[in-house]
Amino acid sequence: MNRLILINFLSAAGLAIILFAVRRLLFVSEEIRQYILKAFCVLLLIFNVMRYTFNSVTAGKIKIPVEFSAVTYFVLPIIVLFNLNKIRPWGAYAGILAGSFFFLKGIFLGDKVYVGYNPVTVATSVLCHGILLFCGLLMISEKRYSKYA
């Protein structure tokens, strides 16, 4: 199996694992789910702060995240960690949107899209988008959101 078809398979496997993990967490207490959610948000935030800082220092110019997914790497953890409940639904759906589209793109177009990408870059993207999807799904499993919240 060549490397490019492997990306399609890994995207499908990653999506299945995330969905399985979230489904399993529906049966644990809300306190444990919140602890897991916050732990993943801390991990995501620290990892991306370090990554963007390191890339900015080594490149000699500041790299500011402007893409939807890259902004969500920072906004979703901040919403969760600082209990910004008024915009929590936005964080949940932003995580789901960024994560699900990334994995769907990987499943259906991974062999075409990631041809020239470094494997470390692809692995980093899978990790970050996987955490976004995981956190978004976990957040919407907490309670029902309404337009009146």
What are 110-148's pLDDT values in tens digits? 878 877 888 888 889 999 999 999 999 999 987 665 555
pLDDT of residue 19: 92
Question: What's the distance, CA 83 to chain centroid?
Answer: 18
- Given a contact cutoff of 8 angstroms between Cβ atoms, the answer to whether 94 and 72 are in contact is yes
Q: Where are the alpha helices (DSSP H) in the chain?
A: 3-25, 30-59, 68-81, 88-113, 119-140
- What's the pTM? 0.89
The torsion angles phi and psi of 63, rounded to 5 degrees, stand at: -105, 115
Per-residue pLDDT of the chain (149 residues; tens, 9 = 90+): 565 577 788 889 999 999 999 999 989 998 999 999 999 999 999 999 999 999 888 888 888 888 999 999 999 999 999 999 999 999 999 999 999 999 999 888 887 887 788 888 888 999 999 999 999 999 998 766 555 55
pLDDT of residue 3: 58
Q: Which amino acid is at 148?
A: Y
pLDDT of residue 2: 60
Q: Which amino acid is at 65?
A: P
Q: Which two tokens stand for residue 133?
A: 């999807």
The owner of tokens 């809300």 is: 30
Q: Which two tokens stand for residue 140?
A: 């919407």
